[in-house]
Copies of this chain bind each other. A is one copy, B any other.
Amino acid sequence: MARQKHIYLDEVDMPKQWYNLAPDLPTPLNPPLGPDGKPVTPEMLAPVFPMNLIEQEVSQERWIDIPEEIREHLFRWRPSPLVRAYELEAALGTPAKIYYKNEGVSPAGSHKPNTAIPQAWYNKQFGIKKLTTETGAGQWGSALSFACSVIGGIECKVFMVRVSFEQKPFRKMLMNTWGGTCVASPSMETQAGRDILAQYPDTPGSLGIAISEAVEAAVSDPTGKTRYTLGSVLNHVMLHQSIIGLEAKKQLAKVGIDKPDVVIGCCGGGSNFAGISFPFMYDKIHGADIQIIGAEPFSCPTLTKAPFIYDNGDVAQMTPLLAMHSLGHNFVPAPIHAGGLRYHGMAPLVSAALRDGLMEAQAIHQSECFEAGLLFSKTEGIIPAPETTHAIAAVIREAKKAKEEGKEKTILFNFSGHGLMDLVGYDKYLNGELHDYEYPESEIALNLEKLQGYPLPK
């Protein structure tokens, strides 16, 4: 077959259904639990999310239709290209074929709009006029602002962790350009924010506080027309992201590849990893020999070191208890540059897949990741987001292994986003100012001890 770097898919061939891993899991998913230890009912979630998304959250349907209007919104950048990394392969001298799904082509520069568009659309369908959310590094807040902007008729309000808000003014400008509102959290706009500011006027803020504010702003709207959104972790987010892997399958088939041998994604909350890998887990469950690897930061080793337990999704303990791998909801990860991977927990679907042996995980230091990111920039040309470099580092490990073994493996990975707005990490790496962090074993143990009395997943 002739050398072909980009494999495109026609719009008519973009998947018409999302794939839901839940019904195919060998062991059934443990339900989210309320403070009373009983499963949370859809009705209990109704003040926070619209019922059409709650239905997706709890669905046991394998295939869920993508509404035609959502498909048209996604056509702004989808189907995303599948790209053969010829230049990276050559630099590594590997016999492996490396393919990546370039999710950096979205207007917001990452895979996040894949779920921002459907979330905004379903909320609008449900009569919602305003969405709230929190953002750390700013990727999710940008994606949701983008989605609300292009869908129209729905406001977007983002609570951004104050220290990031101040350090990354361009992220706020990006949200503003798409018509979103972004305030530093804690803010004076919610009771939660005012309480914290009264006590700690100089607090740098945290994702936990920002979540509290975003949820409060949603549930306290007297018109009932505001809802909260989350960019990862939840089942319906994984569902929306499955379009990545479904497209990749079709694109691989176009170049005569029946199945990849290895599928790799980086793992923070789990959404981009789930997006690329779940459709291949379906094949694996049905007998295909596919190695599936989640790459995470060594300093936040959720999949590689944390127990599979019930824990809150947030520091403020506002969310239901989720069955997942967790370092404890009080765990504060080291300040690595891959902000999107600094999460104490994991999407319950990803954790279930790990527990059931459908995937494995690798923890990688950020210096190895930035080195991988630089090699990618100098071969393929695109500068990866710090999060994405974790996947690339794992790919390089596998490609070198293939070289040692002399095997012509096909490696597929998710290029979850470009790094044009996150260059500070590269700058520090090049100036020798980047630190690697060990995971704080004793602190994690201490955090986990506090969870005694929490129910245990089956």
Chain A positions near chain B (C-beta within 8 angstroms): 2-6, 8, 10-12, 72, 75-77, 87, 105, 107, 109, 146, 149-150, 152, 170, 173-174, 176-179, 374, 377-383, 420-421, 423-424, 426-427, 430
Would B177 and A377 count as touching, CB distance under 8 A? yes
- Bound CA span A149–B426, Å: 15
Would A77 and B381 count as touching, CB distance under 8 A? yes
- Bound CA span A109–B420, Å: 9
Query: In the complex, which residue of chain B has the Cβ closest to the Cβ of A374?
Result: B177
Q: Which residue, A6, A177, A420, A423, has most C-beta atoms of chain B within 10 A?
A: A177
Would A76 and B173 count as touching, CB distance under 8 A? no
**A76 CB contacts on chain B under 8 angstroms:** 5, 87, 380-382
CB of A149, distance to nearest CB on chain B (Å): 5
- Bound CA span A231–B368, Å: 35
CB of A430, distance to nearest CB on chain B (Å): 6
**A5 CB contacts on chain B under 8 angstroms:** 11, 75-76
- Bound CA span A285–B283, Å: 58
Would B146 and A178 count as touching, CB distance under 8 A? no
CB of A20, distance to nearest CB on chain B (Å): 27
Known contacts A4-B11, A11-B5, A12-B2: A178-B423 contact under CB 8 Å: no
Would B12 and A427 count as touching, CB distance under 8 A? no
- Bound CA span A11–B2, Å: 10
**A383 CB contacts on chain B under 8 angstroms:** 107, 174, 177-178
Task: Beyond A76-B87, A173-B427, A177-B427, list 16 extra A-B contacts (CB 8 Å).
Answer: A2-B12, A4-B11, A6-B75, A8-B8, A105-B105, A107-B377, A107-B381, A150-B379, A173-B423, A173-B424, A176-B426, A177-B426, A177-B430, A178-B377, A178-B378, A421-B421
Question: What are 25 A-B interface contacts by the 8 Å CB criterion?
Answer: A3-B11, A3-B72, A4-B11, A6-B8, A6-B11, A6-B75, A76-B381, A77-B381, A87-B150, A105-B105, A107-B381, A107-B383, A146-B381, A149-B377, A149-B381, A150-B378, A170-B423, A173-B423, A174-B383, A174-B423, A176-B430, A177-B374, A177-B383, A178-B377, A178-B378
**A179 CB contacts on chain B under 8 angstroms:** 378
Would B381 and A150 count as touching, CB distance under 8 A? yes
**A379 CB contacts on chain B under 8 angstroms:** 150
Query: In the complex, which residue of chain B has the Cβ closest to the Cβ of A5?
Result: B75
CB of A119, distance to nearest CB on chain B (Å): 16
**A2 CB contacts on chain B under 8 angstroms:** 12
**A381 CB contacts on chain B under 8 angstroms:** 76-77, 107, 146, 149-150
